[in-house]
């Protein structure tokens, strides 16, 4: 089904890969502290895709990446680049993010805007936040279960899974953009339970969850009205950041992202695929190729798992009516 996608940190880079590889069915993407498509291929070890030293020559890098992207599209490893035309793109970089520098996110925009069209791109690079996912609230966190929550000044002073910026509803802003405003004006507290989906059912033949870097369970949030064949709702996929998946944070964290609070207003189903620490001890999504050579294409084990799950979504939701 057609859907939109978002992600933060390694999940932001994963969302870029998802958007490019499956642009025929991905109608919009929101990237928070992610990196350009193919950024892993940049030579050197000076963290150009993260801290991005001031002397990073992004124009030259993007020319190289664009050539590689064109070749992948030509041979069908990703959808035709023409399919990106008119797709919506929302870019967020905290003004105090030193983990993934603003220059990296500016490069994401420079790389993708020629394909989607500049008028389809929205940018927020001025919010006083560091590295993480911004929520409308007063307390940063959460820390992993069992640890005390971290408290800080508005928008937080250190990287955190949730960055509390009073009055800044990142989830609502990005959803409004990628959904072209096709949603209600008011969020409301989620009332339906999460649906647990075994990810092993969707991993390609010959692969295991461990060698694919995947957790055993994905989670789906669907309002009750969307759990019926009578109403097909919009679908949004969200990729978590390193150490911010359910394996490390538990599932309550998913309900605190601010996304599901818009489920009723937007008639939207949210899909939360989960990476694990089996390939990367930090539980990052694979944006560097540890799961296989074709990781950022339609044949990548993680990306193809998510697509297989999405195709099965009508059955998954029907089973929960």
C-alpha closest to that of 232 among 241, 223, 245: 223
Which segments within the chain are labelled E, that is strand?
3-8, 26-32, 88-92, 121-124, 132-135, 160-164, 195-198, 217-221, 234-239, 268-272
Residues counted in the chain: 321
Which residue range(s) make up the domain with 8? 3-318
Please name the residue ranges forming H helices in the chain.
10-21, 58-74, 102-116, 170-178, 209-212, 246-249, 263-266, 301-311, 313-318
User: Cα-flanking dihedrals φ and ψ of residue 92, to 5°?
Assistant: -130, 130
Query: Looking at residue 149, what is its pLDDT?
Result: 47
| Total domains, the chain | 1
- pLDDT band at 161; cut points 50, 70, 90: confident
Tell me: the pLDDT tens digits for 49-64? 988 888 889 999 999 9
User: What's the mean per-residue pLDDT of the chain?
Assistant: 90
The reported pTM is 0.93
Of residues 127 and 209, more confidently modeled: 209
Tell me: the pLDDT tens digits for 61-78? 999 999 999 999 999 999
For residue 148, pLDDT over 50 is answered with no
């Amino acid at each position: 089904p057609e859907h939109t996608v978002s992600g933060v940190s390694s999940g932001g880079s994963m969302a870029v890969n998802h958007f490019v590889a499956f642009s025929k069915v991905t109608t919009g993407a929101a990237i928070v502290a992610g990196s350009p498509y193919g950024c892993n291929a940049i030579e050197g070890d000076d963290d150009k895709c993260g801290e991005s030293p001031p002397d990073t020559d992004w124009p030259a890098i993007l020319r190289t990446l664009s050539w590689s992207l064109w070749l992948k599209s030509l041979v069908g490893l990703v959808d035709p680049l023409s399919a990106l035309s008119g797709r919506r793109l929302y870019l967020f970089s905290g003004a105090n993010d030193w983990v993934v520098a603003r220059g990296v996110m500016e490069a994401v925009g420079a790389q993708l805007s020629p394909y989607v069209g500049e008028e389809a791109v929205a940018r927020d690079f001025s919010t006083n936040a560091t590295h993480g996912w911004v929520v409308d609230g007063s307390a940063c966190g959460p820390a992993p279960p069992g640890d005390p929550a971290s408290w800080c000044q508005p928008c937080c002073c250190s990287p955190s899974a949730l960055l509390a910026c009073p009055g800044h509803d990142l989830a609502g802003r990005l959803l409004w953009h990628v959904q072209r405003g096709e949603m209600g004006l008011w969020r409301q507290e989620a009332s339906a339970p999460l649906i647990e989906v075994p990810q092993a059912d969707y991993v390609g033949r010959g692969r295991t969850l461990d060698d694919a870097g995947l957790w055993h369970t994905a989670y789906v949030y669907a309002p009750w009205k969307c759990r019926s064949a009578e109403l097909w709702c919009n679908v949004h996929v969200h990729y978590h950041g390193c150490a911010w998946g359910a394996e490390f944070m538990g599932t309550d964290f998913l309900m605190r992202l601010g996304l599901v609070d818009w489920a009723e207003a937007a008639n939207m189903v949210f899909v939360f695929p989960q990476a694990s620490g089996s390939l990367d001890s930090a539980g990052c999504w694979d944006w560097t190729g540890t799961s296989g050579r074709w990781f950022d294409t339609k044949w990548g084990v993680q990306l193809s798992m998510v697509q297989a799950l999405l195709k099965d979504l009508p059955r998954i939701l029907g089973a929960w009516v």
